[in-house]
């Protein structure tokens, strides 16, 4: 039976594990052995991982794969991808190879502005608040000088502060809406530190503003926090070629392929049920690179899906067209990424991933990540509109099913050969492995 515990965070790692396995597992020793087998033998490296988060009991592994042959703005990349889903890396690699001899991927960063907000309640005359804001704005910036000093030296910092009236949404609700340039840092800590200083200065200065009544002076700061919605931190990636060049090994007619592909994208543009799955495929590629490079995939996901809904209806992140015999497929997507700070300087595999990518700037990483998403979507739509997605996906998934049955190397070899000409389903693999074992 489960039980509560007091002071868990203060226990040693060993004591934490003892309590976990004794409380939740029928075979405590087996559970402990599973947890320990994922520890790293290098004590220093294990301690580093233990200190990434709180209450660490073991490491949770994800495969780190690579997708080669990405030609981006005439420069070749091998892209690292951390993901557990079968066929994602293979699909990205296939798309990269397809476009390698068709001009590759072209990218550009459209903008890099990030946003933070101070949310507050003010009960008074808006005209007085505007006058106060205009007077205090220079001091808001001045009081963050110690925070922004180094960022400004590198060319970044605070771009602007706006006062926004949100009282149509919530009574007496206003905000300071602040735009930032954080260069190669994702900038969360920098932005939040600035915002908290803005809030303190804003509240304190209000107490001495002579035009305010006593009630108006009592500005109530609700919170100060960056936004992961970054519609002005945009990158574009695209591929294009003559329609006839879409033919591959004479097995697919280029014009038919292009027309069907464009229709598939249009469906995702207008049908939210399709768009969610369509965009999930885009994020298969994006999240895998974001994870491999030590960035925050939850923030990226939240911002991207908000962007997909920016026109009031959830829609496709990618777009396609055929004009004058040219097929073009592209994506414009908000990505707030960093190549310094956070895990980028701590996690050894993140360091290797970034070095593999030629030690990119944040802008360069934005372009690489956007390409990974576009490539993944191209591969998925190519399969969906030709052979269907399950044939390739299930063949990649075959190994996972065989591992569930603890198949031997000989059994794997035999069944892989068998399913080269047979449809892979869980029930079909179950039947095949049972028959094989009966024969042997």
Residues 173 and 320 in one domain: no
Residue 240 and residue 99 share a domain:
yes
DSSP 31: H
Residue 76, in any domain of the structure? yes
Judgement on whether residues 235 and 376 belong to the same structural domain of the protein: yes
Catalytic residue among 296, 347, 364, 397: 296
Q: Is residue 55 part of a domain?
A: no
In a domain, 311, yes or no: yes
Asked if 280 is an active-site residue, the reply is: yes
Choosing from 208, 226, 244, the residue where a domain stops is 226
Helix count and strand count (H, E) for the chain:
16, 10
Residue 236 is part of a domain; what is its CATH number? 3.90.770.10
In this structure, is residue 2 part of a structural domain? no
Give the model's pLDDT for residue 375. Answer: 98
DSSP 3-state assignment of 123? coil
Token code pair at residue 98? 């397809």
Other Cβ atoms closer than 10 A to 277: 11
**What's the pLDDT score for residue 210?**
96
Residue owning tokens 């055929």: 322
- pTM, 2 dp: 0.88
Which parts of the chain have pLDDT scores under 50? Answer: none
Q: Which of 217, 278, 393, 397 is catalytic?
A: 393
Is residue 269 flagged as an active site residue? no
Question: According to the model, what pLDDT value does residue 424 have?
Answer: 80
Does an H or E element contain 34, and which?
helix 28-37
Same domain as 242, residue 131: no
User: Does residue 240 share a domain with residue 92?
Assistant: yes
Q: Are 154 and 84 members of one domain?
A: no
> From CA 319, how far away is CA 407, in angstroms rounded?
43
d(CA 421, CA 415): 11
Domain count, the chain: 4
Q: Kindly state whether residues 342 and 241 are assigned to the same domain.
A: yes
Torsion of Cα atoms, 354 then 355 then 358 then 360, to 10°: 30
Residues 367 and 246 in one domain: yes
pLDDT for residue 51: 93
Identify the domain boundary among 370, 387, 404: 387
360 shares its domain with 383: yes
Domain housing 207: 114-226
The pairing of strands 318-323 and 326-334 is: antiparallel
- Our answer to whether residue 160 is catalytic in this structure is no
| Residue 3 resides in a domain | no
From 50, 85, 255, 301, active-site residue:
85
pLDDT at 68: 98
Looking at the fold, whether 294 and 147 belong to one and the same domain comes out as no
Nearest to 290 by CA among 338, 332, 330, 331: 338
Q: Is the same domain home to 368 and 408?
A: no
H helix or E strand, kind and range, residue 234? strand 234-242
Does 58 reside within a domain?
no
Round to whole Å and give the CA distance between 355 and 297: 20
Shared-domain flag, residues 351 and 408 = no
Active site residue 347: no
Residue 417 lies in a domain: yes
Q: Of 194, 226, 258, which residue sits at a domain end?
A: 226
Closest C-alpha to 371, from 282, 274, 245: 282
Q: Report yes or no on 214 lying in a domain.
A: yes
The two beta strands, 220-226 and 75-82, are: unpaired
Catalytic: which of 166, 203, 280, 418?
280
Work out the burial of residue 122: count CB atoms within 10 Å of its CB; fewer than 13 is exposed, 13-18 middle, 19 or more buried.
buried
CA pair distance 252, 383, nearest whole angstrom: 12
- Beta carbons of 147 and 193 less than 8 angstroms apart: yes
Residue matched to tokens 């303190």: 200
Computed on alpha carbons and rounded to an integer, the radius of gyration of the chain in Å comes to 27
Q: What's the confidence (pLDDT) of residue 140?
A: 98
d(C-alpha 393, C-alpha 401), whole Å: 12
């Amino acid at each position: 039976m489960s039980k509560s515990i007091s002071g868990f965070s203060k226990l040693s790692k060993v004591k934490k594990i003892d309590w976990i396995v004794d409380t939740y597992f029928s075979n405590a020793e087996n559970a402990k052995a599973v947890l320990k087998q994922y520890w790293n033998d290098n004590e220093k490296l294990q301690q580093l991982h233990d200190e990434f988060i709180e209450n660490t009991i073991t490491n949770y592994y994800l495969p780190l794969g690579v997708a080669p042959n990405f030609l981006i703005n005439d420069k070749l990349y091998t892209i690292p991808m951390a993901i557990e889903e079968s066929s994602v890396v293979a699909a990205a690699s296939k798309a990269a190879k397809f476009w390698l001899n068709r001009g590759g991927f072209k990218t550009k960063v459209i903008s890099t502005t990030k946003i933070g907000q101070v949310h507050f309640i003010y009960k008074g005359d808006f005209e007085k608040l505007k006058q106060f804001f205009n007077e205090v704005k220079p001091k808001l910036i001045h009081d963050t000088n110690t925070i922004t000093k180094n960022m400004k030296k590198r060319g970044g910092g605070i771009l602007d502060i706006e006062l926004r009236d949100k009282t149509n949404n919530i009574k007496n609700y206003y905000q300071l809406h602040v735009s930032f340039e954080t260069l190669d840092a994702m900038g969360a800590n920098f932005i939040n530190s600035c915002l908290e200083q803005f809030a303190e200065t804003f509240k304190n200065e209000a107490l001495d503003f002579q035009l305010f009544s006593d009630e108006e002076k009592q500005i109530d700061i609700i919170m100060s926090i960056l936004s992961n919605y970054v519609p002005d931190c945009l990158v574009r990636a695209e591929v294009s070629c003559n329609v006839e060049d879409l033919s591959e090994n004479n097995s697919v007619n280029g014009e038919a392929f292009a027309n069907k592909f464009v229709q598939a994208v249009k469906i995702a543009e207008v049908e939210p049920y399709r768009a969610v799955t369509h965009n999930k495929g885009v994020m298969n590629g994006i999240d895998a690179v974001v994870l491999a490079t030590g960035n925050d995939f939850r923030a990226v996901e939240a911002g991207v899906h908000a962007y997909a809904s920016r026109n009031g209806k959830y829609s496709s992140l990618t777009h396609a067209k055929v004009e004058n015999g040219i097929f073009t497929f592209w994506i414009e997507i908000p990505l707030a990424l960093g190549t310094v700070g956070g895990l980028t300087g701590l996690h050894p595999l993140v360091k290797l991933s970034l070095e593999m990518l030629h030690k990119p700037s944040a802008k360069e990483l934005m372009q690489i990540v956007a390409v990974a998403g576009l490539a993944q979507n191209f591969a998925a739509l190519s399969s969906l509109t030709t052979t269907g997605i399950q044939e390739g996906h299930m063949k990649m998934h075959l190994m996972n099913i065989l591992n569930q049955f603890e198949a031997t190397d000989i059994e794997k070899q035999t069944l892989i050969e068998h399913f080269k000409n047979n449809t892979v389903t869980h029930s079909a693999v179950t039947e095949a492995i049972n028959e094989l074992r009966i024969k042997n």
